[in-house]
Amino acid sequence: MTTGESWNGIMSDCMVEEPTNGCSEEAGTCGNPNVAIVFFISFSLLSTSLMLNVFVAVVLKNFETV
């Protein structure tokens, strides 16, 4: 998911709501849409900033050796 591959399918699976009379894990009906949205937005922001920091560190290390 960090690379942007197939994150929307995983988020859709996490957003499946519970039925009114209980949750059935076998049927795959457990989930909370609000928590899934907050998690995936925060995950993508944190992973993007982490990858940007790694890229900047590699570039600066290469400038240091030249």
The Cα–Cα gap between 63 and 57 comes to: 10
Domain encompassing residue 31: 7-65
Summarised one tens digit per residue, pLDDT across range 16-29 is 776 655 666 666 56
44: confidence class by pLDDT, cuts 50, 70, 90: confident
Phi–psi pair at 22, nearest 5 degrees:
130, 170
Is residue 1 domain-resident? no
Please give the Cα distance from 7 to 43 (Å, whole number).
11
* Residue 35 maps to a domain: yes
Band of the pLDDT at 54, cuts 50, 70, 90? very high
Identify whether 26 is part of a domain.
Answer: yes
Side chain identity at 12, as an amino acid letter? Answer: S
Tokens matching residue 35: 């928590």
* Distance of alpha carbon 31 from alpha carbon 37, whole angstroms: 11
